[in-house]
């Protein structure tokens, strides 16, 4: 949880440094996409969050990933405040002995974050600011992991 | 209990938080939403469609039938859109 930018490369190397049990690292970064019609507005967005709950929710999501996959390390960084197109929003990283756990845990982290962490995006458009609506496809993506859990 | 509003719920309600005793006859999150919608025009605008409202009690996501306590921190917001 931070307003400031982050350096993906630096964060990943800091996470994995000194842990020689790690054989694979998978990272996902989310950026502010220029959603069009931005000439007048600049296409910026503001991320609101719920201080207190956000930290708890992110810690819970990370704990779930640690419980489901044999991870050496994991990391979630999420920014808030006003962001411009091209800016970093979020970074999730999963590091494990082997690639499969790293890939799956990384995918899980971002899917769960999108439906469970209390953030809201306010987009600035030429018509004024509007709140981004949640996508049902994000719920489907998160639910997929709930179903997989039952199979284990 | 403490109520906190986020995103367009906050904008429509015209306030970010408030404190009040648990209203008489209100036991669950869903009943509180109905009660809030009946308070004034702004709260009606914010809470008229419960299907687009999500709730957290003491900073945990909860379903609409979750039972409330006098000292709860209750947050109302639209479905989340982070990441």
Structure confidence by residue, pLDDT tens digits, B9-58: 999 999 999 999 999 999 999 999 999 999 999 999 999 999 999 999 99
Task: Please check whether residue A142 touches B, CB under 8 A.
Answer: no
**pTM (two decimals):** 0.92
Question: Is A59 inside a domain boundary?
Answer: yes
Q: What is the pLDDT of residue A39?
A: 55
- CATH number, domain containing residue A72: 3.90.1170.40
H or E element at residue B17: strand B17-19
**Total domains in the fold of chain A:** 1
* Best CA proximity match to A27, nearest among A115, A99, A124: A99
Q: Report the chain A residue with the minimal C-alpha distance to residue B79.
A: A134
What are B's interface residues with A at a Cβ cutoff of 8 A? Answer: 4, 6-8, 56, 59-61, 75, 77-83
Q: What is the pLDDT of residues B4-18, one digit of tens each?
A: 999 999 999 999 999
Partner-chain residue, chosen from A50, A119, A131, that has the shortest CB–CB distance to B75: A50
Closest CA to A23 of A105, A77, A106, A100: A100
The range of the structural domain enclosing residue A110 comes to: 8-147
Nearest CA in chain B to A48: B7
Cβ-based burial of B5 (10 A; exposed 0-12, middle 13-18, buried ≥19): buried
Percent of all residues in chain A with a pLDDT value above 70, rounded to a whole number: 93
Residue A1 lies inside a defined structural domain of this protein: no
The 10s digit of each residue's pLDDT in A93-113 is 999 999 999 999 999 999 999
DSSP 3-state of B24: coil
Q: What is the rounded distance in angstroms from the CA atom of residue B1 to the CA atom of residue B23?
A: 10
Structural domains of chain B in order of their starting residue, each with its CATH number? 2-77 (3.10.20.30)
Residue A53 lies in a domain: yes
Question: In sequence order, which residues have a C-beta less than 8 Å from that of residue A67 and are 6 or more positions away?
Answer: none
Query: Measuring CA to CA, how many Å separate A61 from each of A13, A27, A66, A105, B13?
Result: 22, 16, 9, 10, 30
For residue B76, give how far its alpha carbon lies from the nearest alpha carbon of chain A (Å): 11
**Does A132 fall in a domain?**
yes
C-alpha B82: how far from its chain's center? 20
CB contact (8 A) between residue A121 and residue B79? no
The pLDDT of residue A41 = 59
Which has the closest alpha carbon to A53: A45, A42, A61? A61
Residue A151 has pLDDT above 50, yes or no: no
Task: Measure in Å the smallest separation between the Cα of A128 and chain B Cα atoms.
Answer: 14
Question: pLDDT tens across A35-79, in order?
Answer: 765 455 578 999 999 999 999 999 999 999 999 999 999 999 999
The reply to whether residue A116 touches residue B80, judged by beta carbons under 8 angstroms, is yes
Question: Mean pLDDT, chain A, as a whole number?
Answer: 92
pLDDT tens digits along A43-52: 899 999 999 9
What values do phi and psi take at A25, rounded to 5? Answer: -130, 130
CB contact A106 to B (< 8 Å):
no
Contacts of B75 in chain A (CB under 8 A): 50, 53, 118
């Amino acid at each position: 949880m931070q307003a400031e930018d982050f350096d993906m490369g630096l964060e990943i190397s800091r996470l994995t440094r000194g842990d020689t049990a790690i054989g694979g690292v998978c990272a996902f970064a989310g950026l502010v996409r220029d959603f069009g019609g931005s000439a007048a507005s600049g296409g910026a967005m503001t991320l609101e969050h719920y201080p207190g709950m956000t930290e708890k929710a992110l810690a819970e999501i990370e704990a779930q990933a640690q419980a489901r996959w044999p991870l050496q390390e994991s990391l979630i960084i999420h920014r808030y405040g006003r962001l411009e197109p091209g800016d970093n929003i979020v970074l999730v990283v999963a590091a494990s002995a082997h690639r499969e756990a790293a890939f799956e845990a990384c995918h899980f982290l971002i899917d769960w974050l999108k439906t469970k962490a209390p953030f809201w995006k306010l987009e600035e458009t030429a018509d004024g600011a509007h709140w981004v609506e949640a996508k049902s496809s994000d719920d489907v993506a998160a639910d997929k992991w709930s179903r997989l859990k039952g199979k284990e | 209990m403490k109520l906190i509003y986020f995103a367009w719920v906050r904008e429509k309600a015209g306030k970010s938080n408030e404190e009040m005793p648990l209203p008489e006859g209100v036991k669950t999150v869903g009943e509180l939403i109905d009660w809030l919608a009946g308070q004034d025009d702004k709260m009606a605008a914010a809470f008229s469609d419960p299907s687009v409202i999500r709730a957290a009690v003491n900073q945990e996501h909860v379903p609409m039938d979750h039972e409330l306590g006098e000292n709860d921190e209750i947050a109302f917001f639209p479905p989340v859109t982070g990441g």
